[in-house]
Structure 1
Amino acid sequence: MVKSKSTSRLSTIESIILTQTDTTVGFISQNSTKLSQIKSRDASKQFIKVYPNLKMFSKSNRVPTSKKSLFRKSKKTTFIIKNKALRISPVKLQSQILRNSTWNYSTSANESGKGFVYTFCQDKADIIIQDKYGLQEMSSSTLLKISNTKIVRLR
């Protein structure tokens, strides 16, 4: 089910979308400024950039050769490479909006430092995409900092 405040399909790239991600309920958009305003968080703090598959990920990021199998096999994992947070998360919902996107910024659907509140999220989102199970807050992704020589688990 998709609920939208937006009147134009072309604005969906800049719209704030509330949806169930593979880990938890999240806001996704290609507009990091709007996400920062919603979350009441410092605009200089970066968001996770999510790609639908390894092919799209590899087009814009260099993956160290020795770590390629880690990226291929990873599930629910965010990687930090050269101070950029990146993630591969296949689109599971049958949403054309999400499938047409080559990448999105992603963040948990809550105010910075607070828990998930559906009414807050509903007010802030331009588009709400959910399946028959609704939206459920679950655990966040594993966070790994990757370099050519080592891997450090941060979360």
Structure 2
Amino acid sequence: MVKCNSTTRLFSLNNKVILTQTDTTVGLLSQDAKKLREIKSRQQTKPFICVFQDFTALKSHSIRIPNRFKRNIRRAKKTTFIVKNRAFRVARSPLHSQLLSKLPWAYSTSANESGKTFQRDFCEQKADIIIENKQGLFESKASKLYKINQKKRKRLR
């Protein structure tokens, strides 16, 4: 476990599990979905949200957004979208974006066991790297969730 105030010292984040304050709540980030699934005791069939550094990274990941919703997605804050059964979010908070500058994308999930609340000691044991800012780690409400197809947008959460 590494504790640091700045992400500039982190050089190899691939396949590491990172505990950090995301733009919505305390989260675990990693490019290794298998590790996250083990930590959370999550079902194999339940996918993770993919968080992107910016829209360029999103575009390079072959997620095609219907034209009529592009403006909504660009302007959305603390919102997750599902397009063709792939969930994604673009990071807005400065710390989250700075972390994702080292990784163009990462799988994201809340920092708790499936169906349970946030427990700091559990998360600190499971995370390889902990990144914490002055506000600390705190649990807040989850992101809004919209499912989008070619014609309509449906709010799921």
State if a TM-score over 0.5 links the two structures.
yes
In structure 2, how many angstroms separate the alpha carbons of the residues matched to 1:57 and 1:136? 27
- Find the counterpart in structure 2 of residue 15 from structure 1: 16
What displacement does 1:45 show? 1.4
- Find the counterpart in structure 2 of residue 39 from structure 1: 40
In structure 1, how many angstroms separate the alpha carbons of the residues matched to 2:51 and 2:96? 17
- Find the counterpart in structure 2 of residue 140 from structure 1: 142
In structure 2, how many angstroms separate the alpha carbons of the residues matched to 1:36 and 1:19? 17
In structure 1, how many angstroms separate the alpha carbons of the residues matched to 2:27 and 2:125? 14
Q: What is the correspondence of 1:84-103 to structure 2 with a 5 Å cutoff?
A: 84-93=86-95, 97-103=99-105
In structure 1, how many angstroms separate the alpha carbons of the residues matched to 2:34 and 2:19? 16
Counterpart of 1:152 in structure 2: which amino acid?
K
Runs of 4+ in structure 1 off by over 6 angstroms are: none
SS at match of 2:141: coil
SS at match of 1:133: coil
1:56 corresponds to 2:57: yes
In structure 2, how many angstroms separate the alpha carbons of the residues matched to 1:95 and 1:140? 18
Residues 79 and 144 of structure 1 are in contact (CA less than 8 Å); yes or no, is this contact kept in structure 2? Answer: yes
In structure 1, how many angstroms separate the alpha carbons of the residues matched to 2:153 and 2:95? 31
- Find the counterpart in structure 1 of residue 129 from structure 2: 127
- Find the counterpart in structure 2 of residue 70 from structure 1: 72
- Find the counterpart in structure 2 of residue 109 from structure 1: 111
Structure 1 residue ranges without an equivalent (≥5): none
* TM-score using structure 1 length: 0.90
User: Number of paired residues?
Assistant: 150
Structure 1 stretch displaced more, 110-119 or 40-49: 40-49
Structure 1 stretch displaced more, 88-97 or 61-70: 88-97
Structure-2 change in CA distance of 1:94 and 1:70 (3 Å): closer
1:73-107 C-alpha deviation (Å, 9 max, x unpaired)? 10000001111111111351288653221100000
Residues 91 and 99 of structure 1 are in contact (CA less than 8 Å); yes or no, is this contact kept in structure 2? Answer: no
